[in-house]
Structure 1
Amino acid sequence: MLNDHAKLMHAVLVSGEIIGRKKLQKMIYIAKKVAFPFHERFQFHFYGPYSEELTLRVEELCNMGFLNEVKEKKGGYFQYRYSLTEPGKEFLSLNEVEMPFLQDCLVDMNDQNARFLELVSTVLYFDNLPKEEVANKVFTLKASQRYTEVEIDEAYQYIESLKGKVQ
């Protein structure tokens, strides 16, 4: 049971700190789609792929004292910061997680903004469709984000660069 919890803890550890619930969701989804063994199920939601399982797992880790969640007021909304606690690090030291190359990918993703990760995850969600149809889905489902063709091309390039880090 705690194997999937340990994988999530490892992801937060190698990322350093993840700022934003949406960003955390997108990073795990993208990592899963690129080749890492995360098992949470995702559905398409308002901000792209979303996993209720992941939300519950984060909540459980916070309740167990393994994950630190700091809620900050930022302008007109709240933002959440996630980091591993000392007990979380101790737990991980006793429960090794083998995911080579995960750190390179997550650190790279963590440097991206949440808007771009939302686009990348949306492109990956529809990866069974031709690029033109994916673009149409993005323009329709994400109209309020006003993504451009150039940004969609950048998302495809970014996905390839992440896949290149895994091989």
Structure 2
Amino acid sequence: MLKDHVKLMSAFVASGEIIGRKKLQKMIFIAKKLSFPFQEKFQFHFYGPYSEELTLRVEELCDMGFIEEVWEKKGGYYQYRYTVTEEGQDFLNVYEEKMPTLDTCLVNMNEKPSRFLELVSTVLFFDDLDKEDVIEKVFTLKSKQKYTLEEIEEAYHYIESLQKTIAQ
């Protein structure tokens, strides 16, 4: 059990501050699809791939005092900010699992908007389909997001660039 917590903690440390639950979900899903050893199971949900296991694991890390979750009102909704606490860093100093290319990928992903990561994770969720079928899925399942063909192409290029980063 703690190994999965350590992997998640390593992701938080690599990313620095993560703003948004949706962004966190997408970053971990994308990392998992890129073959990093995250064990959480994902299903397709309103905002793309979602893991109840990941949500529970983050809650456990917050309860243990390893992750700080701060929520702030932003207009008509609440935004969550996640950072590693000093206790969390001490925990990781003992148990940390090094995944150097994961750090690079997560920092890169954390700089992207949640909307874009939602598109990338949706494309990856349907990676067993032909590209044309994936595009159709995006247009159907994500119609409210109004993604363009250019954005979908950008998502494919972004996935390729992450894969190249890992291969180095």
Range class of TM-score, shorter chain: over 0.9
Q: Which residue of 1 aligns with 2:66?
A: 66
Q: Which residue of 1 aligns with 2:5?
A: 5
The CA distance in 2 between the partners of 1:85 and 1:163, in whole Å, is 31
Question: CA-atom RMSD, angstroms?
Answer: 0.5
Structure-2-length-normalised TM-score? 0.98
Q: Which residue of 2 aligns with 1:28?
A: 28
Q: Residues 35 and 166 of structure 1 are in contact (CA less than 8 Å); yes or no, is this contact kept in structure 2?
A: no
Alignment of 1:9-158 (within 5 A): 9-158=9-158
| Structure 1: gaps spanning 5 or more residues | none
Count of residues in Structure 1 that have an aligned counterpart in Structure 2: 167
Secondary structure at the aligned position of 1:83 is classed as strand
The CA distance in 2 between the partners of 1:96 and 1:106, in whole Å, is 16
Q: Which residue of 2 aligns with 1:163?
A: 163
The CA distance in 1 between the partners of 2:110 and 2:100, in whole Å, is 17
The CA distance in 2 between the partners of 1:35 and 1:151, in whole Å, is 24
The amino acid of 1:84's aligned partner reads V
Secondary structure at the aligned position of 1:115 is classed as helix
* Post-superposition offset of 1:103: 0.9
Q: Stretches of 4+ moved more than 3 A in 1?
A: none
The CA distance in 1 between the partners of 2:152 and 2:125, in whole Å, is 13
| Structure 2: gaps spanning 5 or more residues | none
* Post-superposition offset of 1:99: 1.1
Q: Residues 65 and 88 of structure 1 are in contact (CA less than 8 Å); yes or no, is this contact kept in structure 2?
A: yes
Deviations for 1:141-166, whole angstroms, at most 9, x for unmatched residues? 00000001110000000000001111
